[in-house]
Amino acid sequence: MHDTRNLTPFERRLARELGDHVASVNDPRPAAEIAATAMRARRSPLARLAWPGGSPMAVPVPIRLALVAALVGAALYLGLLVAGGHPTLPVTRNGAVAFPAPDAATGHSAITLVQATGGTSTVKTDPATDASCPAWSPGGSRLAWVETSEDRTESRIVVADGDGGHPRTITTHRVAESGGVGGGAAIHALSWSPDGQSIAYVSGPALWVVPSAGGEARVAVPVVWAGSSAAWSPDSRRLAAVGVLPDRGFGVETVAPDGSDPKILARVGKPDPGGYAWSPDGRMIAYAYGDLIWLVDSTGAADPFVATPEASTSLTPFWSPDSKTLAYVDGVRNGDALETASIWLKRMDRPPIPGNLFTPHVAGIGAGLANLTWSPDGMWLLVVGHKDNTYSVVRVPVTGGPFEPVATFEAQTPTAAIEDCPVAWQDNGIQPVP
């Protein structure tokens, strides 16, 4: 919602007068947003040439109305040019959504892009491989993904432009003498460092780091839990992982990207098939263990503590971009599967939000939750649900309300390509109008 408290009486009147016009052209921006833009424009050097003293009231009414009409017309005309003849969406950080989906032409999975404007395209990947685990670079200018051969003997990371153009392989893992790609498993769980210089990933038993421009891949953690991924500190100087300790126990630990200076923050038993995440402000690491979400200070200065209710089955924590809210998946466990799953939010700076935010089964997108992702602006959660072989990608407003479908596709068999890696939401770096 846009704050109009700082608007002058002229700007408030402008917002009211523009209301009918905005509705008539299907411009989705609130009139207050246009008025706020006018406020900033009024204070610019160009505006001071148009009305002396920076006040539109110093100009006769007919001239003011002509200037307003010209400015609005020019803005709409430029918007039509940018959108190819259609009104543009409100200014937002939320760019394209990337996820793997079956390609009927090849029989393998490929990377699908759904643009913020609604258009859909498929990234050109190697048709003889399964593409998975898309990951956007900070700022959204580059896209990385994994390509794995059909016989699972080779797995590689590809980095391309944001639209999938100019792809190039930056590292490859092949069958080891002992069998298996990279010592036992295909590459998965890609994670860009916040400075964009490195990509962390899991292959075989280890957590690896490779320069995003290509180069030698190095082991950061020799043996990690099979469901492990990588969580970067905001300054890109450390990685968090669930590692296998020398006594064969498990520990939440942080290390330097080159594997040096390991620090054990918490010792745990056999971890649940959940996950962990480093808060964007760098203070806390959230992790799933014993059907609970725990928090631990990233420096190890304090003992871990439980963040979710004890009578729950809490998995897969995800921090909001401002570190103030923790989203997690909760539900009823049936063996290793989680049924009747739902999404909950917990505020870190105020009392918990009562009730769950979203229940996929009730919404009709299936009882299973493959993964979820925050939008860059922190206003949405991107949710992947599945029922039998039908996968649905929807976005859910964190303030509550109906979800919005993004994509639906069929898979001949339940696909690990989308279940093993979060769907990626591009951060185009543009700040929304305040």
End-to-end CA distance of the chain: 8
Q: Sorting pLDDT into bands at 50, 70 and 90, what band is 432?
A: very low
Q: What torsion do the CA atoms of 271, 275, 280, 283 make, to the nearest 10 degrees?
A: -10
Question: Sheet containing 188-192: which strands, arranged edge to edge?
Answer: 188-192, 198-203, 206-211, 218-221
> Does 345 score more than 80 pLDDT?
yes
Q: Are 108 and 128 in contact (CB under 8 A)?
A: yes
pLDDT confidence of residue 74: 47
Distance of CA 51 to the CA centre of its chain: 44
> Does 322 score more than 70 pLDDT?
yes
Rounded average pLDDT over 274-289: 89
110 DSSP 8-state letter: E
Distance of CA 234 to the CA centre of its chain: 15
**Closest to 230 in 3D by CA, of 262, 255, 263:** 255
The pTM for the full model equals 0.74
User: Among the listed ranges 57-71, 186-200, 255-269, which one has the minimum average pLDDT value?
Assistant: 57-71
Place of tokens 């016989």: 151
E strand or H helix that includes residue 55 = none
Q: Which two tokens stand for residue 170?
A: 């930056």
d(CA 142, CA 171): 16
Rounded to 5 degrees, what angle do the CA atoms 138, 141, 145 make?
80
pLDDT confidence of residue 165: 94
pLDDT confidence of residue 39: 44
Q: Which two tokens stand for residue 412?
A: 């001949």
User: Among the listed ranges 20-29, 296-305, 407-416, which one has the minimum average pLDDT value?
Assistant: 20-29
Rounded average pLDDT over 277-301: 90
Instruction: Quote the mean pLDDT of the chain.
Output: 74
